[in-house]
Amino acid sequence: MSEGMELPRRRLGKTDIELTVFGVGGYLGLLADEQASKADGEQAAILAVRRALELGVGYFDTAPSYGGGEAERHLGLGLRELSAAERAGLRVSTKVGTHPEKSQLYDADSIRWSLERSLARLFCDAVDIVYVHDPVEDAHMDQILGPDGALETLQKLREEGVLQAIGLGVRNHRFLQRAIECGHFDAILPSYDFHPLRDSVRPVIGAAVAAGMGVAYSPGAI
C-alpha cells in the first residue's frame, strides 16, 4: 500500500456496509511499545489511525477485551481527531460477550451494558458492526440464540440505530455453522484456520457466502 491510494471496497454480505479489503485490527490495543508511557501510547494510537487512513484503510475492528482493555479507548482517541469528512468514510466494528468484567455473558442486560461502555470508549454514538464474541460452550450459543439473548438484543439495538450489522466472531466451526443456519446474522468472523496449509474453515466460509453473509476473515486472533 502507498500513501494516498484508494483501497477497493467490498459489500458485507447483504448489508449496505462497504469495507475496504484491508482493515486494522486492534488486538494489541494499537500500542507501539509495551514500555511506552500512557501519553506516548495514546499519541501512537492517534498516529496509527491517521496513518491507516492515509494508506487508504477504511475499516477498524476492536473489542473490549483487546489490548488489556485499552484497544477501544485508543481507537476512539484516534477517531476523535478526525474531521467529519474523514470519519464519514470509516467503518468500525466491536464485539460483545468478552468484556473483562462480564466475560462469556450473553444475556440482554450484559450485552447492553458492554456495548454502552464500548461506545463511550470509542467516542461514538453507533458502530457499523457488532460481533458476538468467542462463545466457548454450547450453552453460550443456546443463550446467544435464545429469548433475551445476544442476537435478539442486538436486533433491538439495531432498531434503535446503535448498529447496522450483527456478526459472530469465534473459532469454533460448529458455532459458526449454527449462526449461518439460524439466518439472522449478517456476517461471520472466523480466524486462524484459513491458509494454504490449514484451511479447515473453507466449508464454513462457503456456506456463509452461499447464505449471502459477509465474511470478515482474519489470519490472526479474534
C-alpha cell at 70: 485499552
Residues 207, 220: Cα–Cα separation, whole Å: 21
Closest CA to 54 of 18, 90, 93, 9: 90
Selected catalytic residue, list 66, 131, 192, 217: 66
- Name the residue with cell 461502555: 117
Q: Is 66 among the catalytic positions?
A: yes
Distance CA 140, CA 149 (A): 10
Instruction: Give the residue from 109, 151, 156, 105 showing the smallest Cα distance to 131.
Output: 151
Residue 104's alpha-carbon distances to 8, 153, 172, in angstroms, are 35, 15, 15
| Residues marked as catalytic | 66
